[in-house]
Amino acid sequence: MEITDNHFHLDPEGRKELAVKDFLNAGGTRLVLVHKPYEAWVRLEDFKEQVNTTLTLASKAREVGVKVAVVASPHPVTLVKLLDSKSPLEASELYIEAVSHCTNLVDENEIVGLGELGRPHFTVEPKTWELSNKVLFESLSRAKEVDASVVLHTETGTPEVMADLAALASKANFPKDRLVKHYGGPGSIEDPNGLVVSLTTSLTNIRYAAVQKSDFMLETDYLDDPNRPGAVMGPKSVPRKTIRALEEGIITEKQANNIHSKVPDRVYREFT
């Protein structure tokens, strides 16, 4: 049986392949490796260099035996930070250039999707919120052009938030069954409005989601941050919690196959 952690970061200053080995030794088999901003950037070339770092980390992870699907994009908080030194037009144009670099990587089969796209998870000025949504719409439209999956970083998921994100996806003609709400919780899975929910891995979340009618995946959002070991959750969490949920009858083998194989295969298409 495959066991897939749907949201996993590696850091060049972190444990890297040692964290991957922990995941494998606990029973894991596949990772969705999500690019993270290793430091602030204001030049497109710096962003490209950081994405190359993520691709190198993915190669190192594969060398120790895990199958990987890579998603990469400029983080939505980056847009907010760019506004500190650039006009809204300059910031949004630079952000979209970074998105276009990632869609090119999808087209070249270097990555399978874009992530984390989205909008701020904290309160911002109305003009910044409006700009973030415009940029997200444009990003989804470009992702659609290259048949990419998308992982979303947004405010806390509620049925209302999920409906708003679904409406934005429809406007961009982006397929909702390949649009993932990262860091989902009960509010996201309660009514995902066609999006795919990735739940943080706790038995409470698994137990709640198991009786809902919607598909979901499991994630740790492991950060590989040397200053915060184990944040957000440790690399062993998804396999350990999955095995325990099976042993306690919280999920069936069919549900486990859906969580770890059927849904990820539909969303990301290929792990290598």
> Model confidence over 209-243: pLDDT tens digits?
999 989 999 999 999 999 998 999 999 999 999 99
Contact 8, 34 (CB under 8 A): yes
CATH number at 114 reads 3.20.20.140
Mean per-residue pLDDT for 80-91?
97
User: What gap in Å lies between CA 272 and CA 62, rounded to an integer?
Assistant: 8
* pLDDT of amino acid 36: 97
What pLDDT is stored for residue 226 in this prediction?
92
Q: In which residue are the tokens 């497109």 written? A: 44
Average pLDDT over residues 201-211: 97
Using CB atoms within 10 A of its CB, is residue 71 exposed (0-12), middle (13-18) or buried (19+)? buried
For tokens 């990003």, what's the residue? 139
- Number of structural domains the chain divides into: 1
pLDDT per residue as tens digits for the range 101-123: 999 999 999 999 999 999 999 99
pLDDT of residue 135: 98
* Domain span holding position 227: 4-268
Read off the pLDDT of residues 32-80 as tens digits, 9 standing for 90 and up: 999 999 999 999 999 999 999 999 999 999 999 999 999 999 999 999 9
Looking at residue 79, its pLDDT comes to 98
142-192 pLDDT, tens digit each? 999 999 999 999 999 999 999 999 999 999 999 999 999 999 999 999 999
Q: pTM of this prediction?
A: 0.97
**Mean pLDDT to the nearest integer, 243-261:** 98
* CA gap 96, 73 in Å, rounded: 10
